[in-house]
Structure 1
Amino acid sequence: MQFSFDSSEPIYRQIADQIEETIVTGGFEEEEQIPSTTEISKEFHINPATVLKGMNMVVSKGLLEKRRGLGMFVTVGAREKILEEKRGAFYTDYVKSLVNEAKSLNISEEELIAQVRRGFAE
């Protein structure tokens, strides 16, 4: 995990994002225990309350579960939930913008698809 203390994005949000990214990339497997709040706060010199706030964001999405006395564990299906959310964001953040830009440049749907195929081929 790496955090940017100079970023405008709050540290707790960076923690949540990093945990999710680690789940997606397979760094944390389903039903695997993740490092504790204390471990993360000590390793990265972050207030434990900030770490907990980030972890709770991931818990509220159903990607982590708290097991009393044991810690936090990745839920079954967490990776697929994150990927589904990212696919939705990809459409909203990139595809819609791409289509709007193509329309403004008078690029037809067929031409745009051809360009996307070209991008995949390169």
Structure 2
Amino acid sequence: MIGEANALLDSGTVEEMRAWLETGYPLAQAEDDRIAIARLLADPDISDALRAAAGTALDDNTPEALRHFLEVGRYEVGQWPVRRIMSRARGILRRLPVREPWASPSAVMPVSRFLLQDCR
């Protein structure tokens, strides 16, 4: 995509640039979106709902569906399952000084709830 845009900037006419922005750019963005979705699907910790939603976007295979999934859909279904959120909470608490009373193992659930809000 960058090569095409640079070539147009170097030697393209205004009409060619406008045509590329209307047709070429969305197709190039869709290619990037497919790769982003494939990377997401490679994560073994994603939820089944997220895996299904990503598959639906790939099956639809329109630039609009791919972009919508990445910008909206993946957050609607929840990007991470609860076990991954709990793991993130434990990791955060491990990095905190143990002398803090709120950094005890019993604080995993409140921190997990906070992280879960971030995923919605």
TM-score, scaled relative to structure 2: 0.33
Larger radius of gyration: 2
* The structure with more strand, counted as a fraction of residues: 1
TM-score, scaled relative to structure 1: 0.33
* The structure with more helix, counted as a fraction of residues: 2
